[in-house]
Amino acid sequence: MDQPVREAAELLGRARRVVVFTGAGMSAESGVPTFRDALTGLWQRYDAQALATPEAFRADPALVWGWYEWRRHTVRLARPNPGHRAVAAIQARVPGTVLITQNVDDLHERAGSSDPVHLHGSLFAPRCSACAHPAPTPDDAEGEPADGRRVPPPDCARCAAPVRPGVVWFGEALPGAALEAAVEAASSCDLLVTVGTSGLVYPAAEIPQVAARLGAAVIQVNPEQTPLDPIAEVNLRGPAATVLPALVDAAWGDPAG
């Protein structure tokens, strides 16, 4: 067994209050494009960062809604990978484990994880752009929206304003309740496992830093070096779909594949 995996397994095996913190690298291994890679086909005519703003939605709601509907359908075609299932296995082994994710997909839930804290919102939680009333997820019966197609958003059932995607756009604050829950979990854990995140997107990148400052051990799973390397007690280099099942197997003899 690889020495770093053995060291990480010892930390995980004795931990009592665990936080798992996941980023885009986790979902990318299921074929979900990262945000900056998400523009393909006719969508390549647009700048992703220009579409993901409140100003873009006000200027052309059908264009922005169409892009997010295309993204949601793309996620629907993806499947949880062994890394997602390993996170669910950690939650099953260590009661009270808190999962915090920067991803806006539902792959953790489909893998069996319960109550993830979605720091950046969710593609599956649309809400009114005016009164914030929750709206139902659109029916997939009509199939995938055409690449590059404008799709008018539905109207809010409460106030008739356009419904918007339930994600955090550039220039918007993180959801207060989600951020508070994440900081509280990081402040009280004895182990934080950070997976597939660059450590560059703030304020989310502060979560592992909070845990480390307050004495928790940090395990990082990432194929590349990141700004989180210096605070991690163990750095596991490799893809989450490979490393996390090996970590679970080493900790409890229960491969999560």
Q: Would you list which residues are annotated within the binding site for NAD(+)? A: 102-105, 196-198, 222-224, 240
For residues 82 and 204, give the distance between their C-alpha atoms in angstroms, rounded to a whole number: 24
Our CA dihedral for 199, 204, 209, 215, rounded to 10 degrees, sits at: -130
Query: Which residues are part of a known binding site for Zn(2+)?
Result: 128, 131, 156, 159
Q: Please name the residue that has the structure tokens 């913190």.
A: 21
What the block records as the tokens of 23 is 């980023």
Rounded Cα gap, residues 177 and 183, in angstroms? 10
Active site residue 118: no
Q: Following DSSP, what letter does each residue of 33-68 receive, concatenated?
A: PPGGG---GGGGGS-HHHHSSHHHHHH-HHHHHHHH
Task: Kindly list the distances between the CA atom of residue 50 and the CA atoms of 53, 54, 120, 126, in Å, as whole numbers in the listed order.
Answer: 6, 10, 17, 20
- Known binding residues are 68, 71, 102-105, 128, 131, 156, 159, 196-198, 222-224, 240
Annotated binding site for substrate: 68, 71
C-alpha to C-alpha distance for 67 and 88, rounded to whole angstroms: 30
Catalytic residue among 84, 108, 118, 120: 120
Q: Which single residue is written with the structure tokens 């990081």?
A: 186
- Residues noted as catalytic: 120
